[in-house]
């Protein structure tokens, strides 16, 4: 008998599952190694069953103790329960526990053998699955912007979300067990669209869907979504899941945008055609108007070369010559505008002393300023004033600015030209005490055929080309030009910024540059 009991204890010790053996007086007689491995408790830690109960079950110890007393009394033959066990490390493990009282020990004491299956991993998986299912349920129920429903392989509806009810108008009780084809238009059903979509989802895993659908009341909406195949652990198809949303508003907006873009593109194309026709017209007009001026200029020069010509005739011829030159300049401006609009402005680049170019513009403009008794102040203080560019074009820029300053400044007014350097650039300000303009016109005045207001054209003449040409020329040189005024009667300042270059020993200004 003693040998049999000892053999039984060794079998418990080597058992691959948690096993405990204890006597009715509470003495723990044996625990398996697996018991110790899973709980961390050695036989020395739990010499009595009460010690085990208090350590492992906490507040649940009394319930377990009561079950064990029932076994000892013979009230029940087997005790089975799912128990949460606290290990020595404080970890909670889930056990499926079974205990029975098989008989008496050699010393006459009754004993109990308890065995457990550690189901912790399974319980965690089960718990995670429940949580996942709950999250999925919440997602499905709260995704009101999406219609979500599942179907069996016969396309009968098995699950119907709140979003599906909201979008399609059917309640669960109306559609469960019904064909999912009911959301398709009669035309699509007749054409076999539901069958094709399901077949594609089963064959390829998913099928995209963008088409008109039908609500309960018969109204149509544009639905966009996807159908996927649902499969079991073996990969066998068990149903279909469809998720889509009402995209009617987005589709309408997209179509409206496409129509607007198409309209804009047509308008742009028409504007480009009109601009090309306008440029061609201006070029032809300029040429036709300039052609008859050439013999006039030659005739005037011939007459002026006659030393015997009376003085009064000379004055008249000089006036004719001056006005013909003005007309020629206007025609040149028209040609420049057509070049600007076609991005065809060509530059003859060479090293330029910008101060020298400014001084030539001053020389050309001086007669206009002198005729109105205007005072000109020069302060060309920039130490770096060489750059690479087109001398004729840049001289024209400052001639235009000085011409404007003189035109819009009353008799006795002041005009200033100042230069300075700033971060590798030369900055030139042309300031006057003239009529100025409202600040909001600062950008507009650089557009061709624009003036600050119509009264300027009426009172001062001109068609608004000079500043447009100046802006194009400056920008073609990698520079900027801007205008500033505090308002009417407050004068104006035009600022030109251009990138500088180091002076080269062999650099020469193109003295032939002219307007």
pLDDT value at residue 304: 84
For helices 61-73 and 49-56, the axis angle rounded to 10 degrees is 150
Cβ-count burial of 217 within 10 angstroms (0-12 exposed, 13-18 middle, 19+ buried)? exposed
Mean per-residue pLDDT for 320-345? 66
Which comes out higher in pLDDT, residue 436 or 132? 436
Mean per-residue pLDDT for 66-87? 84
pLDDT value at residue 310: 83
pLDDT value at residue 450: 62
pLDDT value at residue 482: 95
Q: Predicted confidence band at 515 (pLDDT cuts at 50, 70, 90)?
A: very low
Q: Which of 48-62, 80-94, 125-139, 164-178 comes out lowest in average pLDDT?
A: 125-139
pLDDT value at residue 58: 78
Mean per-residue pLDDT for 450-471? 62
Report how far residue 133's alpha carbon sits from residue 127's, in angstroms, rounded to the nearest whole number: 10
pLDDT value at residue 189: 95
pLDDT value at residue 453: 52
Residue 506 is classified by DSSP as: T
pTM above 0.75, yes or no: no
Percent of the chain surpassing pLDDT 90: 46
Q: Predicted confidence band at 337 (pLDDT cuts at 50, 70, 90)?
A: low
Mean per-residue pLDDT for 16-28? 91
On the question of pLDDT at 1 being above 50, the answer is no
Mean per-residue pLDDT for 173-186? 95
On the question of pLDDT at 239 being above 90, the answer is yes
Q: Which of 260-274, 285-299, 334-348, 387-401 comes out lowest in average pLDDT?
A: 334-348
Mean per-residue pLDDT for 153-159? 94
pLDDT value at residue 508: 43
- Span 400-420, pLDDT tens digits: 899 999 999 999 999 999 999
Q: Quick one: which H or E segment has residue 339? A: helix 311-341
Look over the chain and give the mean of its residue pLDDT values, rounded to a whole number.
85
Instruction: Name 306's Cβ contacts closer than 8 Å, sequence gap at least 6.
Output: none
Return the residue matching tokens 């999406």: 146
Question: 25 with 48: CB under 8 angstroms?
Answer: no
On the question of pLDDT at 134 being above 80, the answer is no
On the question of pLDDT at 497 being above 70, the answer is yes
Mean per-residue pLDDT for 68-80? 82
pLDDT value at residue 150: 92
Report how far residue 464's alpha carbon sits from residue 267's, in angstroms, rounded to the nearest whole number: 26
On the question of pLDDT at 458 being above 90, the answer is no
Per-range mean pLDDT, top range of 263-267, 431-435, 507-511: 431-435
Which comes out higher in pLDDT, residue 203 or 274? 203
Q: Predicted confidence band at 509 (pLDDT cuts at 50, 70, 90)?
A: very low
Q: Predicted confidence band at 69 (pLDDT cuts at 50, 70, 90)?
A: confident
Cβ-count burial of 103 within 10 angstroms (0-12 exposed, 13-18 middle, 19+ buried)? exposed
Mean per-residue pLDDT for 119-123? 84
pLDDT value at residue 454: 53
pLDDT value at residue 136: 67
On the question of pLDDT at 62 being above 90, the answer is no
pLDDT value at residue 514: 33
CA-closest candidate to residue 448, choices 312, 290, 314, 338: 338
- Span 461-491, pLDDT tens digits: 455 678 888 898 899 999 999 999 998 889 9
Report how far residue 452's alpha carbon sits from residue 435's, in angstroms, rounded to the nearest whole number: 11
On the question of pLDDT at 457 being above 70, the answer is no
Helices (H) then strands (E): counts for the chain? 16, 17
On the question of pLDDT at 10 being above 80, the answer is yes
Q: Which of 79-93, 116-130, 231-245 comes out lowest in average pLDDT?
A: 116-130
Q: What domains lie within the chain, and their CATH numbers? A: 2-124 (3.30.450.20), 143-246 (3.30.450.20), 257-341 (1.10.287), 350-499 (3.30.565.10)
Q: Which two tokens stand for residue 449?
A: 């055929």
417-430 per-residue burial string, b: 16 or more CB within 10 A, e: under 16: bbbbeeeebbbbbb
Q: Predicted confidence band at 339 (pLDDT cuts at 50, 70, 90)?
A: low
Report how far residue 246's alpha carbon sits from residue 258's, in angstroms, rounded to the nearest whole number: 20
Per-range mean pLDDT, top range of 4-8, 196-200, 394-398, 505-509: 196-200
On the question of pLDDT at 445 being above 70, the answer is yes
Which comes out higher in pLDDT, residue 515 or 318? 318
């Amino acid at each position: 008998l003693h040998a049999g009991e000892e053999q039984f204890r060794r079998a418990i010790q080597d058992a691959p599952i948690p096993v405990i053996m204890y006597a009715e007086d509470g003495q723990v007689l044996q625990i398996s190694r697996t018991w110790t491995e899973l709980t961390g408790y050695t036989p020395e830690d739990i010499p009595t069953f009460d010690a085990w109960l208090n350590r492992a079950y906490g507040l649940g110890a009394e319930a377990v103790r009561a079950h064990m007393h029932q076994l000892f009394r013979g009230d029940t033959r087997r005790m089975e329960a799912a128990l949460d066990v606290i290990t020595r490390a404080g970890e909670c493990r889930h056990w499926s526990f079974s205990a029975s009282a098989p008989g008496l020990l050699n010393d006459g004491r009754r004993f109990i053998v308890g065995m457990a299956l550690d189901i912790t991993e399974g319980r965690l998986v089960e718990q995670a699955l429940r949580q996942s299912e709950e999250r999925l349920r919440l997602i499905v129920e709260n995704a009101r912007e999406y219609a979500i429903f599942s179907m069996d392989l016969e396309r009968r509806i098995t699950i119907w979300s709140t979003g599906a009810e909201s979008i399609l108008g059917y309640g669960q009780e109306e559609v469960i067990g019904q064909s999912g084809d009911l959301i398709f238009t009669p035309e699509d059903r007749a054409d076999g669209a539901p069958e094709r979509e399901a077949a594609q989802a089963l064959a390829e895993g998913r099928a995209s869907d963008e088409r008109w659908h039908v609500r309960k009341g018969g109204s149509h909406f544009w639905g966009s979504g996807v159908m996927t195949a649902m499969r079991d652990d073996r990969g066998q198809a068990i149903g279909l899941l469809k998720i889509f949303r009402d995209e009617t508003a987005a589709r309408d907006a997209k179509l409206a945008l496409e129509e607007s873009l198409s309209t804009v593109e047509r308008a742009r194309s028409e504007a480009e055609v009109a601009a090309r026709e306008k440029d061609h017209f201006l070029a032809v007009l300029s040429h036709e108007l300039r052609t008859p001026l050439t013999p006039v200029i030659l005739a005037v020069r011939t007459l002026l070369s006659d030393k015997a010509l009376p003085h009064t005739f000379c004055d008249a011829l000089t006036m004719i010559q001056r006005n013909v030159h003005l007309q020629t300049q206007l025609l040149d401006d028209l040609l420049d505008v057509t070049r600007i609009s076609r991005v065809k402005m060509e530059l003859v680049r060479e090293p330029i002393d910008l101060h020298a170019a400014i001084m030539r513009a001053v020389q050309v403009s001086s007669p206009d300023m002198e005729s109105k008794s205007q005072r000109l102040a020069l302060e060309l203080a920039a130490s770096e004033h060489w750059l690479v560019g087109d001398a004729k074009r840049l001289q024209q820029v400052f001639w235009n600015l000085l011409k404007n300053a003189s035109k819009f400044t009353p008799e006795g007014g002041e005009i200033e030209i100042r230069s300075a350097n700033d971060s590798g650039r030369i900055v030139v300000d042309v300031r006057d005490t003239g009529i100025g303009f409202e600040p909001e016109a600062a950008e507009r005045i650089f557009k061709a055929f624009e003036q600050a207001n119509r009264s300027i054209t009426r009172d001062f003449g001109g068609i608004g080309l000079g500043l447009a040409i100046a802006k194009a020329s400056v920008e073609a040189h990698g520079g900027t030009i801007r205008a500033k005024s505090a308002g009417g009667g407050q004068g104006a300042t035009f600022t030109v910024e251009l990138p500088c270059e180091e002076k080269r020993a062999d650099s020469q200004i193109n003295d032939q540059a002219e307007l």
